[in-house]
């Protein structure tokens, strides 16, 4: 056994348990708290099992504490919403399931069909009666974390990345043509404003279109409920059964949901559409403003050196600042993907520098051509 891989896996289990516990502690819904705490206990059991494997190789090894990365994820979640954490946990559970299935196949073990259960719970596609969680609650849990905060975080990360990369490429291209600092600044500011406005408008249209689509779907479901309530009720029963409930419990839950038209449509919206009708996909203005501000911040990074310096000094400071910014953005992306901070950071730097090198080279060729 590779002890380093075991240690890395142990740290993941410790961090995952911490995040489940932390999110559970701030929930107001008792059932939602119970399912998260139960998942945390399962992860703690995994961590204990993994720790026992490690100490057989290194007897003096101590159980690791929660990593700074996990604590930082929780702080970011408090600011922007918990969709980033839920996404990261879903990726972790998916990888766990893939590895479990792979190991069982390699060792000739029979698959149980339960390897994806944790992922199914996180994605609100499975109901676990032992945890006393209804399908509606799981859908509520999932949709809650896909709301406004998730849009803001996504727009923030992608907006700052686009601003930095696009303006760095633009600035390097103009700098390669050996033009004056004033020309570089004017071009960079124009690129900043044009890009920020374009990004904000794109985010607004994207989120607003999603909201309008969700609203239309709710209207259609409401019409169908009014026209054929029994058919809609049968569909809800089948949906509950498809998520793992037995026929009796599925029927009871559907009967309870259909006690009034209001609770019936709420259940249908949550279960069939996966929509939180209070949010409808998040705030278009919040996503647009976040995108505009973060794009502008990203675009300023490669531009500001030309305010104070000129020539090669400005170019070198611009590249150095951009490298730091790119690495930071790459690290921030791991909050959404769950990947390695170092890998994502350096990958982002490589892509950004490659784009800047291409535009600088093209700018140099154009500058020489015009000068000749």
Structure confidence at residue 134 as a pLDDT band (50, 70, 90): very low
Token digits of residue 188? 């960079």
Asked which of 120-124, 161-165, 320-324 is least confident by mean pLDDT, the reply is: 120-124
The rounded mean pLDDT for the chain is 75
Question: pTM (2 decimals)?
Answer: 0.53
Structure confidence at residue 17 as a pLDDT band (50, 70, 90): confident
pLDDT at 80 over 70: no
Instruction: Quickly list H helices, the chain.
Output: 3-25, 30-57, 68-80, 83-106, 117-122, 135-144, 148-176, 181-227, 229-242, 247-257, 261-268, 284-300, 305-308, 311-337, 341-371
Asked which of 93-102, 140-149, 257-266, 345-354 is least confident by mean pLDDT, the reply is: 140-149
Pick 165 or 110 by higher pLDDT.
Answer: 165
Asked which of 6-20, 185-199, 333-347 is least confident by mean pLDDT, the reply is: 333-347
pLDDT at 257 over 90: no
Instruction: Tell me how far apart the alpha carbons of residues 288 and 291 are, in angstroms, rounded to a whole number.
Output: 5
């Amino acid at each position: 056994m590779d002890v380093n891989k075991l240690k890395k896996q142990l740290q993941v289990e410790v961090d995952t348990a911490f995040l489940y516990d932390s999110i559970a502690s701030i929930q107001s819904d008792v059932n939602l708290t119970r399912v998260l705490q139960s998942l945390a206990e399962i992860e703690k059991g995994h961590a204990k099992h993994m720790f026992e494997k490690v100490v057989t190789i290194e007897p003096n090894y101590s159980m690791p504490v929660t990593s700074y990365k996990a604590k930082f994820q929780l702080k970011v979640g408090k600011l922007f919403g918990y969709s980033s954490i839920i996404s990261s946990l879903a990726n972790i559970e998916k990888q766990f399931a893939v590895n479990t299935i792979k190991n069982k196949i390699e060792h000739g073990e029979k698959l149980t069909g339960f390897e994806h259960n944790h992922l199914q719970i996180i994605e609100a596609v499975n109901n676990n009666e032992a945890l006393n969680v209804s399908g509606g609650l799981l859908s509520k849990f999932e949709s809650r974390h896909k709301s406004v905060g998730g849009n803001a975080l996504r727009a923030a990360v992608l907006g700052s990345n686009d601003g930095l990369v696009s303006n760095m490429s633009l600035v390097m291209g103009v700098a390669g043509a050996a033009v004056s600092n004033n020309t570089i600044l004017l071009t960079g500011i124009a690129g900043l404003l044009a890009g920020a406005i374009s990004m904000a408008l794109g985010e607004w249209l994207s989120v607003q279109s999603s909201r309008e689509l969700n609203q239309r779907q709710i209207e259609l479901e409401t019409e169908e409920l009014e026209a054929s309530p029994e058919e809609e009720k049968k569909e809800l029963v089948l949906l509950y059964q498809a998520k793992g409930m037995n026929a009796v419990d599925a029927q009871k839950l559907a009967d309870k949901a259909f006690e009034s038209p209001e609770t019936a449509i709420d259940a249908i919206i949550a279960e069939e559409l996966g929509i939180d009708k209070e949010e409808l996909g998040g705030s278009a203005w919040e996503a647009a403003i976040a995108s505009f501000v973060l794009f502008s911040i990203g675009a300023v990074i490669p531009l500001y050196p030309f305010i104070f310096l000129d020539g090669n000094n400005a170019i070198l400071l611009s590249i150095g600042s951009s490298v730091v910014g790119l690495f930071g953005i790459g690290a921030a992306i791991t909050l959404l993907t769950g990947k390695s901070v170092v890998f994502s950071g350096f990958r982002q730097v490589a892509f950004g520098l490659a784009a800047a090198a291409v535009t600088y080279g093209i700018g140099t060729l154009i500058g020489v051509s015009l000068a000749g």
